[in-house]
């Protein structure tokens, strides 16, 4: 296992500008997921009214989430397409009610549509989380550059409707790393300053490929960008354990620690408390490891 922080060759920029507020990722942080959808694979239908959205946001904030990621389009494999106006209706309403009640929390909008990204930032979102890396809406990159907000660029082939048929790679890590490197170049040329990369666990990847990606995750640190990892309750966990998403929290925690050891800066999760505790233990481990390295 490669301990995060051992790689001295590649330096990662770990400061993000969130509307004038600086977020430093020297210590990893947690992004809590609120899906305002009826059909997401784990929490679909749970947060569709104002009261439930606010309760979940408050719970995540009290459990020390740094970011709340709001999405209105289920990206589980084979999910039905959602019309742009329906997605916007779901997401913008949720952002408004969260921002009204909790002014200080950082809100991310989970969308691949540029128009919604723009409107979400107007309503108070501070960063954009795009599962397509700009592939599904040609206006996205220009929009993000104009908005001057951080951008999470995720690797995916195809769409949520077709990605299961496109999990074919000659060299998984080489292809993902090359794709992300090319995207970073395009984003930087467009004027986007703060870029976070997400290798896209479960998106056009088989269970075996997901585990290979996790085992070799440290290779992505060579790209010099903060690394977001979204493993929470995904099928690579619950299918391996012969269970279901409801009983995949323990497996999620175990793999989140592996992700941290291999360089993750942000954990995107449904369960904030357990992820924060994992980071606390990871940080203590790194402190002791540093002491040993320096001979203290």
Per-residue pLDDT of 49-76, as tens digits, reads: 899 999 999 999 999 999 999 999 987 7
Pairing between strand 228-229 and 266-269? parallel
Residue 75, pLDDT score = 78
Q: 2: how many CB neighbours lie within 10 A of its CB?
A: 15
Residue 64, pLDDT score = 97
Q: What percent of the chain has pLDDT over 90?
A: 79
Report how far residue 15's alpha carbon sits from residue 17's, in angstroms, rounded to the nearest whole number: 7
Banded pLDDT at 192 (limits 50, 70, 90): very high
Would you call 55 a catalytic residue per the annotation? no
Of 90, 183, 205, 268, catalytic: 268
Instruction: For residue 216, give the nearest of 269, 265, 282, 263 by alpha carbon.
Output: 263
Task: Choose which CATH entry (1.20.1250.20, 3.40.50.620, 3.30.300.30, 3.20.20.20) describes domain 28-291.
Answer: 3.20.20.20
State residue 78 phi and psi, 5-degree precision.
80, 5
Left (φ > 0), alpha (ψ -120 to 50) or beta: where does 153 sit? beta
Residue 3, pLDDT score = 46
Query: Strand runs (DSSP E) across the chain, as ranges?
Result: 15-18, 21-24, 29-35, 67-71, 106-110, 127-130, 151-154, 195-198, 228-229, 266-269
Would you call 268 a catalytic residue per the annotation? yes
Residue 6, pLDDT score = 45
Q: What percent of the chain has pLDDT over 70?
A: 92
Would you kindly state where each structural domain of the chain is located, as residue ranges?
Answer: 28-291
pTM of the model: 0.92
Of 157, 205, 233, 234, catalytic: 234
- Give the mean model confidence (pLDDT) for residues 268-292: 94
Q: Is the pLDDT of residue 9 over 50?
A: no
- Give the mean model confidence (pLDDT) for residues 31-45: 74
Q: Is the pLDDT of residue 208 over 80?
A: yes
Q: What share of the chain is helix, strand, coil (3-state, %, to 5)?
A: 45, 15, 40
């Amino acid at each position: 296992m490669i301990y995060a922080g051992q790689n001295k060759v590649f330096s990662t920029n770990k400061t993000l500008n969130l509307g004038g507020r600086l977020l430093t990722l020297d210590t990893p942080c947690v992004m809590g997921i609120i899906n305002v959808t009826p059909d997401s694979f784990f929490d679909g239908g749970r947060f569709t009214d104002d009261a439930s959205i606010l309760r979940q946001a408050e719970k995540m904030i009290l459990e020390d989430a740094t970011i709340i990621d709001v999405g209105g389009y289920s990206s589980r494999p084979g999910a039905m397409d959602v019309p742009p106006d329906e997605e916007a209706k779901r997401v913008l309403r949720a952002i408004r009610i969260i921002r009204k009640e909790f002014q200080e929390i950082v809100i991310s909008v989970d969308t691949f549509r540029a128009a919604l990204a723009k409107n979400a930032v107007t309503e108070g979102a501070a960063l954009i989380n795009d599962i397509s890396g700009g592939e599904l809406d040609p206006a996205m990159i220009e929009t993000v550059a104009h908005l001057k907000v951080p951008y999470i660029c995720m690797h995916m082939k195809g769409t949520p409707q077709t990605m299961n048929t496109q999990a074919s790679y000659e060299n998984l890590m080489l292809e993902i790393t090359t794709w992300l490197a090319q995207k970073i170049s395009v984003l930087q040329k467009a004027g986007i300053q703060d870029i976070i990369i997400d290798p896209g666990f479960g998106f056009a990847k088989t269970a075996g490929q997901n585990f290979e990606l996790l085992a070799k995750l440290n290779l992505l640190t060579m790209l010099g960008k903060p690394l977001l990892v979204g493993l929470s309750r995904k099928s690579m966990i619950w299918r391996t354990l012969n269970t279901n998403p409801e009983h995949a929290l323990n497996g999620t925690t175990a793999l989140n620690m592996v992700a941290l050891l291999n360089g993750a800066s942000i954990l995107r999760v449904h369960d904030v408390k357990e992820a924060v505790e994992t980071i606390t233990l990871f940080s203590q481990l790194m402190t002791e490891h540093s002491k040993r390295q320096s001979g203290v």
